Amino acid sequence: MEPASLFHTPWPPYVQGTRPDNLRVLLKARRNDIRAAYVVYGDRYQHEMNLRATMTKVGTDEYHDYFIAPLPLTTGRYKYLFYIEDVDGGEAWFSDAGLSTDMWNTRVFQMPHVAALQPWSGPDWVQDAICYQVFVDRFRNGNNGNDPPKIQAWDSQPTLDTRLGGDLDGIIEALPYLKDLGVDLLYLTPIFAAPSGHKYDTVDYYKIDPEFGDHRSLTRLTGEAHKLGIRIILDGAFNHCGPGFFAFRDCLEKGAASPYRDWFYIHSFPVTMNPPNYETFGAAIPEMPKLRLSNPETRQYFIDVATYWIREADIDGWRLDVANEIDLDFLREMRNAVKKIKPDAYIVGEIWHGAEPWLRGDTLDGVTAYPWRDAGLAFFSGWRTDAAWMSGQLTKHYCSARPEALLSSLNLLGSHDTPRYLELMGGDFNKARLLVAYQMTSPGVPQIYYGDEVGMRGWSDPECRRGMAWDPACRNEEMLGYYKYLINLRRKYPALRRGYYCSLWQQPGDPMWGMLRLYPNGNVAVLFNTAWHERKVDLPGGWLKASDEVELVTLTGWARGHNLEPEQRQEHNEQIEQVEQGRKVSRRNGWRRPRRLPVSLTIGPQSAVLLAPKQVNG
């Protein structure tokens, strides 16, 4: 085996406290080097290490295999080594000192105090949620009285300056529609006073933009939504503001004399906007000056904003714009303040890349899972029809941070910042259905961008921000029904909501890919055939309990299964004790035990299938 390829460190994400009495340990090794791996561990204050855990290979990327083992805990202080068997029959120990065939030449990894690991405090409910994103101006107009000037026709081609008149009253009108779809988490793009249609250039964080309604409109929305079991999170543009924000306006007027000069990253005075001589969001966008949240006064102002709307409007959390550019100390303090008022509030951040530093349990509850999205779009569009590549992307993603955080992150196929996924699929509804099935069966919270469920199309902004298709003539009702079908399946199987990821089918160059959702009460397997021809495949039975009868559920297309019921066979090696004539006797007894045969499947072209043990339904 290659010593340089082995990697482990006793810190996240390679060690995670999944429960107070359980650790999850991750080991990374060169691909196809290791046949088996074990964790040998014990109390760091005792001489012996007499506990052992078998590691499971959960997946493979281009270069590495990933092995994970849960360690049941009996004390709070641990030491451990890895015992490794390679594919050639060699055996060795891997420790903090490296690889050695002699256990006496090792130096144990140490976990000085398990309590030092940040406990997970994210809301439990979010892992069961279906999230729906509303771009407020484009969703529904429920009050013509607050329409902005120069409103355009609802079905018009949008521009960067378009106003269609969507508002909070319109969202209230649409709540029954959202409930019927299966939504129980509603994420609204910014609703605070701002000059633009998108409202990410906020000028007053304590005022609802009059184009959308007022304070009463928001409290009415949260109240009506909560009656239907739907939670509401707002979009907090706390990384930057608009030029009309009182603190930045003061800097424009007073220059270096402004008491708010340290609220921003101003390079020189006087402040000029064209070109900007201050830090901004994006590439020198003068209308969005970046806020200095490391400044105590700025930080406290926005913590007060975050807690104000939790208290006053009973919102259920925040989606933080550009969260990866926000000061981490601010995120920690904001989290503590929000959770003090509403312990089960959900705080999720927009991050487009790997996000482990934000997913340790002390800042965000989840992020926008763009690496997951990018992998799915590439595979299901046909750009990368390689199951090994797909498996590698998801293995890296799901091993990149603590599992609770990734189960609580938003799996989005599109947003107001991206082309709609149906456009990226070339309008091919077969590909689109496979992609949506991938979304609804993956670890993480499915986030539906408004209108995707009825087949809306459009490239990037402004095309992806068209008015919601309410006209039946402009809606794909079959796609809407498909979303409802998949959401109901997700509710039916707990493993689809809370099960961990494990790779199942990952042959190089294969257009068929599959994953396993690991869950204590029953695993679920999902297979996707993206090819234009049917496929026959045999799956080993070890991923289900031996006594389980397999249920085959078609997600899209068609599939047939064989050997779905366990075979009954006669066994003659059970020793039992009986009482005969007042004395115990021991004898062998024949009995029938089910044996799981490999499951044989025929999966149709561009089809997806789910396999689950029947008794875990519900």
**DSSP-derived secondary structure for 457-503:** ---STTGGGPPP--SGGG--HHHHHHHHHHHHHHHH-HHHHHPEEEE
Are 216 and 168 in contact by the 8 Å Cβ rule? The answer is no
Please calculate the CA angle 134-137-142 and round it to the nearest 5 degrees.
90
Q: 13 preceded by cis ω (within 30°)?
A: yes
Number of other CB atoms surrounding residue 606 within 10 Å: 22
What's the token pair of residue 272?
């000029």
- Dihedral sign of CA atoms 324, 330, 336, 341 in order: negative
Q: Which helix (H) or strand (E) holds 577?
A: strand 567-580
User: Identity (one letter) of the amino acid at 615?
Assistant: Q
Active site residue 551: no
Q: Strand ranges (DSSP E) for 96-230? A: 98-100, 109-111, 131-134, 185-188, 192-193, 204-208
Give the DSSP letter of residue 291. Answer: B
State the catalytic residue, choosing from 169, 350, 365, 453: 350
Q: In which residue are the tokens 């081609």 written?
A: 157
CA distances from 244 to 110, 163, 227, 345, 464 (A): 53, 20, 37, 30, 27
Which H, E and C letters describe 1-38, residue by residue? Answer: CCHHHCECCCCCCCEEEEECCEEEEEEEEECCCEEEEE
Please calculate the CA angle 339-342-347 and round it to the nearest 5 degrees.
55
Are 611 and 495 in contact by the 8 Å Cβ rule? The answer is no
Are 19 and 66 in contact by the 8 Å Cβ rule? The answer is no
Residues 6+ apart with CB under 8 A from 254: none
State the catalytic residue, choosing from 137, 209, 321, 327: 321
**DSSP-derived secondary structure for 226-290:** HHTT-EEEEEE--SB--TTSHHHHHHHHHGGG-TTGGGB-B-SSS--BTTBSB-BSTTT-TTSBB
Are 405 and 365 in contact by the 8 Å Cβ rule? The answer is yes
Q: 462 preceded by cis ω (within 30°)?
A: yes
Q: Strand ranges (DSSP E) for 96-191? A: 98-100, 109-111, 131-134, 185-188
User: Identity (one letter) of the amino acid at 357?
Assistant: P
Closest CA to 358 of 406, 299, 305: 406
Active site residue 574: no
d(CA 181, CA 183): 6
Find the distance separating the first CA and the last CA of the chain, reported in whole Å: 45
Q: Which residues are catalytic?
A: 321, 350
